Amino acid sequence: MVREERVWRMVGVLRFSIEGVHDSYIVVISGRWIMCDTGDWDFKLDSDRMGRAVYAKLITSVEDLKRAIIESYGLVGMSVAVEMSYWLGFRLVYFGT
């Protein structure tokens, strides 16, 4: 329940921040989080997939964002798990779909 609540807060903020803007994009970076021996987390970019920019105006939900990510990487019709994270202040928020 808490995870879902955070997800919808993120989408609410996202929708508010692009309201009235005609050409906005969300930058999506493919990679994985790795925990170092020190306990710190480090993001490793997937050098085969790299990053994409998805058109933000058409995204109104987490499912829309997930669909846009899958389309931008050419993975439509494939069985893939989309896991997303973003920085909120000093806290990393993670959710899988």
Answer whether 50's CB lies under 8 Å from 27's CB. no
Flag residues of the chain having pLDDT under 50. 1-18
- Give residue 92's pLDDT: 64
Strands 83-88 and 91-96: antiparallel
- Give residue 96's pLDDT: 62
- Give residue 9's pLDDT: 32
The predicted model scores a pTM of 0.62
- Give residue 73's pLDDT: 86
Give dist(CA 48, CA 65) in Å, integer: 21
Give dist(CA 64, CA 56) in Å, integer: 10
> Percentage helix, strand, coil, to 5, in the chain?
30, 35, 40
- Give residue 69's pLDDT: 86
CB-count exposure of residue 47 (10 Å: 0-12, 13-18, 19+): exposed
